[in-house]
Amino acid sequence: MKKNKFPATNKKLINWVKDMARLCGPDNIVWIDGSAKQQRVLEEEAVKNGEIISLNQKKLPGCFLHRTAIDDVARTEHLTFICTKKKRDVGPNNNWMRPKLAYKKAGDIFRNAMRGRTMYVIPFSMGPVGSEFSKIGVELTDSRYVVLNMLIMTRVGKDVLKQINNGGDFTKCLHSKAELDINRRLIMHFPEDNTIWSVGSGYGGNVLLGKKCLSLRIASFLAKKEMWLAEHMLIMGIEDPSGHVEYIAAAFPSACGKTNLAMLLPPEGLKRKGYRIWTVGDDIAWLRVDSDGALWAINPESGFFGVAPGTNSQTNPSMVKTIKKNTIFTNVLRKPDGTVWWEGADGQVPKEGVDWQGRPWKPGLRDADGKLITGAHPNSRFTTPVENCPTVSFRMEQHHGVPISAVVFGGRRAHLAPLVYEAFNWQHGVFVGSTMASERTAAQVGKIGEVRRDPMAMLPFCGYNMADYFKHWLKMGKKMKNPPKIFHVNWFRTDESGKFLWPGFRDNLRVIEWIIERCNNKIGANKTPIGFVPNIADIDMTGLKLSKTILEKLFAVRKEDWLEELKSISIFFKKFKKDMPPKLWKEYRDLVKRLKA
Ligand code: OXD
Ligand code: MN
């Protein structure tokens, strides 16, 4: 692509781009304008140099395949740092490095890393351009794959640049693939400088800097300063037959079904009630208190970066439709007809194909250790525009976002947590969020059943000391006249033989319906030591045949299990030493008292 003129007039932006070009030494600088024409040229160039592979354009128009390096397939938390002057400010939940040392270390890898390459300048907005919720970033990258993904995941182009030229602030995001060497890979965040430096990776979560790096780590830092919340949450609207839509925001750790829930279709048994689900977001929510004293939320992203394996017409029919066009697939299997496949996709397992590493593949292939070789990587992904989604909310582009009636936390707990319970109040709800945890399954590396604490599903994403984050959540509650109610769900409770008690997926709407009725004070509930648990008769089970024993198990609160859980919560809280808010220790003690009463 021909180098284009500097369209920027903002001195800070011009000087920064020039400084970074001096460091990285690209042959060219190209400004991304967000136009379809420029996108086509980039696609053609990326196909030509093998960065992406064009898929069957008849069956999958506008779709491409990308393969990452084999040791660059997921977020690298151990190479991810928050760099602040004081170590205390990042807390025990983050890796810390002094900014001066971090700039030096990463700078050594960035030096001349773009030789022989083009540096692309991507001005992007997280959130609708011009909304007071939104934040502007500029990413410099030497990867066309990154540019093409950013064009889907964020709002890119001239309007954004105009805002910067008019004096708007922006997050400075620098990325280079460098040599894609895991030993020379660093993901650095400098919240005090509003800056991100990522080098040596080509994997989405490490390099699409608008996503986890800006919209969660840097944004959570800014949100604390500016009194709002940046959260790892889906946002969905539930419309009743009268047309009234109620919105909820829900935080689950990765691989606990946020994307599927955000696009839920009603189960057969509830169809008569005429609910419709509207998707606002599947991964990140930015929430602010408005003049009505309620919490409002936007999804800062404009695309989904979803996990492919397990996505099919049963688990997520709307996503299956969404990814039929203008989608970039990463590390999936390529079928002989130029379409794609992954474990758990619709239809027959293909007889042959090219696997995620570019090798010939057929079912049943095993590696040298006798382990089955998958066609797609377990963390293979698709990047696809939200606007493709048949359930996309009409309020997606509204500057004001949507009002949130309920905040829902969730984890994967085989034994402990009931299907759903409601916190007594905001402070108790913050305690519930701060004690969130998920158990490993056989599908994950590590000891089965081992609990990893993941408060508010933000452990890998909170850009500062989590004790301060908990304090911030408590403060936000004080700021609201009409705070949302807080709930906890667990779709993953099992019986003694390890079988799931709850069918999940579409049937989760039954639980969401109960949550909404509680928000509208329509029904009562059982007060238990951990919170309000449904009267079983209040959850609409039409069309679901679950025995009384199963239902009782789903909603049981076993005091001995909770007392045991409190020991692990205490160990976690103690990591934050004297920074841990006393209000959460009080909630802890109150829970002990209630359990022992
Ligand atoms: C994640 C993701 O890792 O959304 O949480 O990609
Ligand atoms: Mn996520």
Domain borders along the chain are 11-31+74-226, 52-66+303-390, 230-299+396-596
Q: Is the CB of 303 under 6 A from ligand 1?
A: no
Residue nearest (by alpha carbon) to ligand 1 atom 1: 254
Rounded to the nearest angstrom, the distance between the alpha carbon of 457 and the centre of ligand 2 is 9
The minimum-distance atom of ligand 1 relative to the CA of 232 is: 5
Rounded to the nearest angstrom, the distance between the alpha carbon of 356 and the centre of ligand 2 is 22
Rounded to the nearest angstrom, the distance between the alpha carbon of 264 and the centre of ligand 2 is 18
Q: Is the CB of 257 under 6 A from ligand 1?
A: no
Best residue among 73, 80, 206, 212 to mutate for probing ligand 1's pocket (most ligand atoms within 8 Å of CB) is 212
421, 417, 407: which is closest to 501 by C-alpha?
Answer: 417
The minimum-distance atom of ligand 1 relative to the CA of 205 is: 6
Rounded to the nearest angstrom, the distance between the alpha carbon of 568 and the centre of ligand 1 is 25
Rounded to the nearest angstrom, the distance between the alpha carbon of 446 and the centre of ligand 1 is 19
Alpha helical stretches, state H, 87-196: 99-110, 144-153, 158-165
Dihedral Cα 341, 345, 346, 349, nearest 10 deg: 60
Rounded to the nearest angstrom, the distance between the alpha carbon of 254 and the centre of ligand 2 is 5
The ligand placed nearest to the CA atom of residue 234 is: 2
Q: What kind and span of H or E run contains 173?
A: strand 171-176
Q: Is the CB of 398 under 6 A from ligand 1?
A: no
The minimum-distance atom of ligand 1 relative to the CA of 461 is: 5
The ligand placed nearest to the CA atom of residue 231 is: 2
Residue nearest (by alpha carbon) to ligand 1 atom 4: 283
The pTM is what? 0.97
Residue nearest (by alpha carbon) to ligand 1 atom 3: 254
Residue nearest (by alpha carbon) to ligand 1 atom 6: 205
pLDDT, averaged in runs of 10, over the chain (597 residues): 82 97 97 97 97 98 97 92 98 98 98 98 97 96 98 96 94 98 97 98 96 98 98 97 96 90 95 97 97 96 96 96 98 98 96 98 96 95 98 94 98 93 98 90 51 93 98 98 97 93 96 97 98 97 95 96 96 98 98 97
Q: Is the CB of 205 under 6 A from ligand 1?
A: yes
Checking DSSP bridges between strand 80-82 and strand 186-190, what pairing results, if any?
parallel
The ligand placed nearest to the CA atom of residue 77 is: 1
Fold type of domain 11-31+74-226: Phosphoenolpyruvate Carboxykinase; domain 1 (3.40.449)
The minimum-distance atom of ligand 1 relative to the CA of 254 is: 5
The minimum-distance atom of ligand 1 relative to the CA of 74 is: 3
Rounded to the nearest angstrom, the distance between the alpha carbon of 382 and the centre of ligand 1 is 12
Tokens 């989904």 sit at which residue?
304
As residues whose CB is below 5 A from the ion ligand 2, the structure lists: 283
| Res 446: pLDDT | 47
Instruction: Answer whether 573's CB lies under 8 Å from 537's CB.
Output: no
The minimum-distance atom of ligand 1 relative to the CA of 305 is: 6
Q: Which two tokens stand for residue 552?
A: 């009782």
Q: Which long-range contacts (CB under 8 A, 24 or more apart) does 264-268 make?
A: 264/236, 264/505, 264/506, 264/508, 264/509, 264/512, 265/317, 265/318, 265/391, 265/506, 266/506, 266/509, 267/506, 267/507, 267/509, 267/510, 267/543, 267/544, 268/543
Best residue among 68, 73, 75 to mutate for probing ligand 1's pocket (most ligand atoms within 8 Å of CB) is 75
Q: Is the CB of 254 under 6 A from ligand 1?
A: yes
Q: How far apart are CA 212 and CA 231, in angstroms?
A: 10
Q: Is the CB of 305 under 6 A from ligand 1?
A: yes
Q: Is the CB of 72 under 6 A from ligand 1?
A: no
- Active-site residue flag, 519: no
- Indicate which residue of 173, 256, 389, 462 is catalytic: 256
Question: What residues have CB less than 8 Å from 343, skipping those under 6 apart?
Answer: 309, 310, 374, 375, 376, 378
Rounded to the nearest angstrom, the distance between the alpha carbon of 212 and the centre of ligand 2 is 8
The minimum-distance atom of ligand 1 relative to the CA of 204 is: 6
| Res 449: pLDDT | 66
Q: Is the CB of 283 under 6 A from ligand 1?
A: yes
Residue nearest (by alpha carbon) to ligand 1 atom 5: 254
Rounded to the nearest angstrom, the distance between the alpha carbon of 458 and the centre of ligand 1 is 11
Q: Is the CB of 307 under 6 A from ligand 1?
A: no
Helix 466-479 × helix 426-434 angle, to 10°: 160
Alpha helical stretches, state H, 111-194: 144-153, 158-165
The minimum-distance atom of ligand 1 relative to the CA of 307 is: 6
Q: Which CATH number fits domain 230-299+396-596: 3.40.50.150, 3.90.228.20, 3.40.50.920, 3.50.50.60?
A: 3.90.228.20
Question: CA of 42: how far to CAs of 2, 52, 111, 242, in Å?
Answer: 11, 10, 25, 46
Rounded to the nearest angstrom, the distance between the alpha carbon of 574 and the centre of ligand 2 is 27
Residue nearest (by alpha carbon) to ligand 1 atom 2: 254
Q: Which CATH number fits domain 52-66+303-390: 1.20.1290.10, 3.20.20.120, 3.30.70.141, 2.170.8.10?
A: 2.170.8.10
Q: Is the CB of 281 under 6 A from ligand 1?
A: no
